[in-house]
Amino acid sequence: MNDVAAVTSTDTGSRNDSIDAVIVGAGFAGMYMLHRLRQLGLIARVYESGDGVGGTWYWNRYPGARCDTESVEYSYSFSEEIQQEWEWSERYPAQPEILRYANWVADKLDLKRDIVFNTRVDRAEFDEDLAQWRIQTNSGDQAVARYLIMATGCLSTAQLPRFEGLDSFKGAWYHTGQWPHEGVDFTGQRVGIIGTGSSAIQSIPVIAEQADHLYVFQRTPNYSVPAHNGPLDPDYVREVKENYQQLREQARTSRRGYILDVSPVRAQDVSEEERQAIYEYRWEVGGLGYLSSFGNLLSDSEANETAAEFVRDRIREIVHDPVTAEKLVPTDYPIGTKRLCIDTHYFETYNRDNVTLVDVKSAPIETITPSGLRTSEAEYELDSIVFATGFDAMTGTLKNIDIRGRDGIQLREKWRDGPVTYLGLAVAGFPNFFTITGPGSPSVLSNMMVSIEQHVEWISDCLEHLEREQISHIETTPEEEQAWTAHVNEVAGSMLFAQGNSWWKGANVPGKPVVFMPYTGGVGMYREICDRVAAEGYTGFVLRPVHVSTAD
């Protein structure tokens, strides 16, 4: 089959008709899912709340927004034509370039005619007798579909802390994840930014260049490694493209979905001198590969400490003022147990006269005032406030939609104490329902593109099987999802992840159950498990043939 030939759909244009599948979200997951379902001859419709494709890269338009995965790896691999034709300009792609790429792919595959933009799915309910999902949107659309596939992304519900007084603020405020499309000009302004996660670490150096003064309100300092971003060397790109098939395969079977796999060597198995040389080398190369320096950095505290200490020393070297430097040095959690950041001149930015770091752990923010912000120690006059406060990750968007499975069971109710899934793909009580990169799968702890493609292909192979075998219902069981969720927890528990207050475990959202959500067993191993489940006839799922009614 030609992998990029636009596939004809038979969508009638009416928005109240019966279709095979509804896909929620038109980011990279939803786009590829639509393409695969068309190839199967199924009629699929995508609902997307934005007015364009791109998902994460449609919404996150804050200054400096850039992917932390290298461009040649953060791209679709399913089509040789697409991966050969598209030219990335930089080692790490900036948000506008990724968005152009998403649109280019969508146009090439003629996807947009089956995407209903500016439309949010509010409610979805499974009709057991008809084996169909009834989907309702905020614009009054109703669709009836046999399959419901959530491609809603992991970081798509902005987390805005409920600061007292925000309504009274006379200036402008923004959340990094909902940035105005027309951009923001901070020239001449006193700007406050709350948060020092990845979004803040990317935007702080850019905003500092524009603003009159930038106040950074930091609760927890973060480990960050330089990106060493720059234009891509054409010889390197040629080499990658010549070897793409093999390199992609390496990524698919690796631990984290990257071409460069985690070193099998333990940090303690080399001399102190050799260890420092390896960290030095990785620091110079830059990027998330720093955590792959040794195989036991995320499972052994002593090993982790050597990698953490190297970064702390670099921060102390870069930041001139020793008091500021100490505030920026993370000390109370292991490196990599909150998402490692990669930056372009982040720590150097604190050497600027117009940047002030404010520690809001020791002196918390008390209130937003009409003219700025007050901590327990001081008042700050601000023209604009940027909330770089992250997302209700992985489950937020799924729980915001009123999804009701068999017997009216609500997903948000079922996940009250934390998400339970089988393979991060399926939920008991919710037949014919799939989550792409859902909780319980490697998702955000991997190269998202690799994990998205793996899930999309697994789901489309599954639907092909159901169609061929005339299966009307596929559903996992409570026992299987409990066992898988226990396994996810067990693997995470054997590592150091519990020690970081990360969004991976919901620690950033007050009241959210603290449960570690991504599967940490490795992308390659996870793929093997999923493939085995399919090869053995979808073990862990109950498949019901078309002719068997509920009463049977």
Give the residues lining the site for ligand NA7 (CB under 6 A).
155, 161, 176, 194-200, 219-220, 339, 360, 365, 388-391, 501, 503, 508
SS (H, E, C) 8-59: CCCCCCCCCCEEEEEEECCCHHHHHHHHHHHHCCCCEEEECCCCCCCCHHHH
Distances (CA, A) of 373 to 168, 173, 359, 363, 369: 11, 12, 13, 12, 5
**Residue number, 197 or 524, with CB nearest to ligand NA7:** 197
Rounded Cα–Cα distance for residues 156 and 479 (Å): 30
**Residue number, 37 or 325, with CB nearest to ligand NA7:** 325
Q: CB of 534: closest distance to ligand NA7 in angstroms?
A: 29
**Residue number, 9 or 60, with CB nearest to ligand NA7:** 60
Q: Which residue is nearest to ligand NA7 (CB)?
A: 197
Task: Identify which of 197, 174, 112, 208 has the alpha carbon closest to the alpha carbon of residue 444.
Answer: 197
Rounded Cα–Cα distance for residues 551 and 252 (Å): 43
**Residue number, 19 or 517, with CB nearest to ligand NA7:** 517
**Residue number, 33 or 216, with CB nearest to ligand NA7:** 216
Quick one: tokens of 135? 């989907």
**Residue number, 5 or 514, with CB nearest to ligand NA7:** 514
Query: What does DSSP say about strands 402-404 and 121-127: parallel, antiparallel, or unpaired?
Result: parallel
Q: What is the DSSP string of 137-155?
A: ETTS-EEEEEEEEE---SS
Q: CB of 271: closest distance to ligand NA7 in angstroms?
A: 33
* Residues written for the chain: 552
Quick one: tokens of 23? 């896909």
**Residue number, 257 or 405, with CB nearest to ligand NA7:** 257
Q: CB of 340: closest distance to ligand NA7 in angstroms?
A: 9
Q: CB of 273: closest distance to ligand NA7 in angstroms?
A: 33
**Residue number, 326 or 402, with CB nearest to ligand NA7:** 326
Rounded Cα–Cα distance for residues 508 and 506 (Å): 6
**Residue number, 310 or 391, with CB nearest to ligand NA7:** 391
Task: Identify which of 208, 237, 177 has the alpha carbon closest to the alpha carbon of residue 389.
Answer: 177
Rounded Cα–Cα distance for residues 344 and 227 (Å): 6
SS (H, E, C) 98-114: HHHHHHHHHHHCCCHHH
Rounded Cα–Cα distance for residues 434 and 27 (Å): 16
Instruction: Establish how many alpha carbons lie within 13 A of residue 364's alpha carbon, considering only the half-sphere containing its beta carbon.
Output: 5
Q: CB of 351: closest distance to ligand NA7 in angstroms?
A: 21
